Amino acid sequence: MAHFEITPRQARERQRQGALLVDIRQAHERASGQAEGALGIPKDELEAEHARHLQAPDAAVMLICQSGQRSAATVQVLRAAGYTDVHSVAGGTTAWIADALPLVRPRLDADEADFLERYSRHLRLDEVGVEGQRRLERSRVLLVGAGGLGSPAAFYLAAAGVGHLRLVDDDVVDRSNLQRQILHVEAAIGQAKVESARERLAALNPRVVVEGIRERATSANVEALLEGMDVVVDGSDNFPLRYLLNDACVKLGKPLVYGAVQRFEGQASVFDAGRHRGRCPCYRCLFPEPPPPQFAPSCADAGVLGVLPGIVGLLQANEAVKLLLGIGQPLAGRLLQFDALAMRFREVRLAPDPQCPVCAPGRPFPGYIDYARFCATGG
């Protein structure tokens, strides 16, 4: 143990003798419990404004964090600033609890306590934190399809705390869905998928508003479905709907998180041409024309490994969360392909098509088309 470290029991004794104990963790960390009598001052604030919070430079001060690492670092900062009697509690709050020393919980209202406890692992990430988590709670995501891809995506978006999920699907739960569509259970067979999904997601995270719309997305209603949404997640299983969502997202400037699966292979990408014309491709840049129907059978015809939609759907949820938080590098301009049998990922770079009929810079929106006919004839 370093010379500036003391044990929790030593800290408790010095506290009784008048030494100041300061918990330098963030407020959300202290919500689960802090050493009795400790004053809560976040690390960054204490280091930047130590003169405002501490007494004379020779005053007895002890710092405690979660494991002792942050408090040890701050001790060095304070000693360099002239404080001569400052120590770190070795092992932090974890060791304090292990020694059965008294712990208290800050007084919080029920909603704040739920927020801090539910999202505690997010809050510890510098890339998320309280501000990012509040941003997720204000976010709105349209998820088209509550099936194989939509199930895992919806589960993890709800768990992550996305405030409003709008689920669109006109189908009902069938027993054959249960092999991969994990939002649904045996008792939901015959129930509308959006209602089944709403019940499961509400049970997982009651803080999330789940809006179920039992309709098929069409040219007539697609813009109303996208209204007010921050991100669109494509959980569809057919080409007409993929082209429709792409065209609408380009027109309205919404990022589209794409996913597709068949047999043992899946793929995912982000199409963000609506917000980044000429820099990011759209779905039509990848597939200018749909493949002939005989070369693109549905999962009902070709089959699909049950876990595959889960893998791809989670990739979609990951991309959606990154887009909402504005962190990381989205899959825009990249197509991620996954082979479940070989357990291999492959990335293909995608460039925007300067002649794309929908997203080419300066090109006016051409209008919606008969997508079913377009796909039935292979373009």
Catalytically annotated residues: 299
- Measured CA distances, 187 to 58, 190, 211, 228 (Å): 68, 9, 21, 33
Q: How far apart are CA 184 and CA 147, in angstroms?
A: 9
Interatomic CA distance for residues 377 and 49, integer angstroms: 69
Q: Which helix (H) or strand (E) holds 167?
A: strand 164-168
Query: Residue 359 carries which side chain, given as an amino acid letter?
Result: C
Please answer whether residues 231 and 283 qualify as being in contact, where contact means their C-beta atoms are separated by less than 8 angstroms. no
Sheet with 344-349, strands from edge to edge, namely 209-213, 164-168, 140-144, 231-234, 256-262, 265-271, 334-339, 344-349
Query: Do 122 and 150 touch, CB atoms closer than 8 A?
Result: no
Q: CA angle, corner 80, sides to 8 and 24, nearest 5?
A: 40
CA distance 367 to 298: 27
CA nearest to 258, candidates 249, 243, 271: 271
Q: Are 241 and 372 in contact (CB under 8 A)?
A: no
